Amino acid sequence: MKLESAAGTNKKLLFDKEREGILRRGTGLLKQDNKNNRFVLIKDISTIRPMFENTWSANLAVFSVVLDETEDPIIADLCLQGFMHAVRISGHFEIHDVRNAFVSSLSKFTQVSASKEIK
């Protein structure tokens, strides 16, 4: 019993240490003078999947609502680019349900029989 609690405590300490390291590196990246850089380049794409899995539904909602309500062609184009990149990311990581959700949502804007006036 003591061995299991010691292993659990050790696991928690390792987790806390890793979390602190991630926070320290992230804070360092944010504090760097990146006025001329638009993006932070990463070498390991394994960090993209968990971020995308946590944000895809919010992105889908924003792209859909803004695309539905905007009359600005620039804003509409940015929403379409968001859809395109989301489909590519979900396809790359083989997250089929998410990819299908984006494609399904986007296809609703192409229905000619929709009761709302096409812009």
For residue 66, the number of C-alpha atoms closer than 13 Å in the C-beta half-sphere is 18
Would the pLDDT of 103 be above 80? yes
Q: What is the pLDDT of residue 108?
A: 86
Q: Is a pLDDT exceeding 80 seen at residue 29?
A: no
- pLDDT per residue over 40-63, tens digit each? 677 788 888 888 999 999 999 999
Tell me what the pLDDT averaged over the chain comes to. Answer: 82
In the numeric block, which tokens belong to residue 66? 């803004």
Verify that 28 and 61 share a domain, yes or no. Answer: no
**DSSP secondary structure string for all residues of 3-43:** HHHHHHHHHHHHHHHHHHHHHHHHHHHHHS--TT-SS---S
User: Other C-beta atoms within 10 Å of 87: how many?
Assistant: 17
Q: What letters, b where the CB count within 10 A reaches 16 and e where it falls short, cover 29-63?
A: eeeeeeeeeeeeeeeeeeeeeeebeeebeebbeeb
User: Does one domain contain both 49 and 102?
Assistant: yes
Task: Show the domain range for 28.
Answer: 1-41
Residues 77 and 92 in one domain: yes
Of 34, 40, 53, the residue nearest 92 (C-alpha): 53
Write down the pLDDT at residue 117. Answer: 56
How many residues make up the chain in this entry?
Answer: 119
Same domain (yes/no): 49, 35: no
pLDDT at 98 over 90: yes
Q: Is residue 26 part of a domain?
A: yes
CA distance 34 to 112: 46
Q: Which of 32-41, 42-51, 63-72 has the highest average model confidence (pLDDT)? A: 63-72
Is this model's pTM higher than 0.75 or not? no
| Total tally of structural domains belonging to the chain | 2
pLDDT at 35 over 80: no
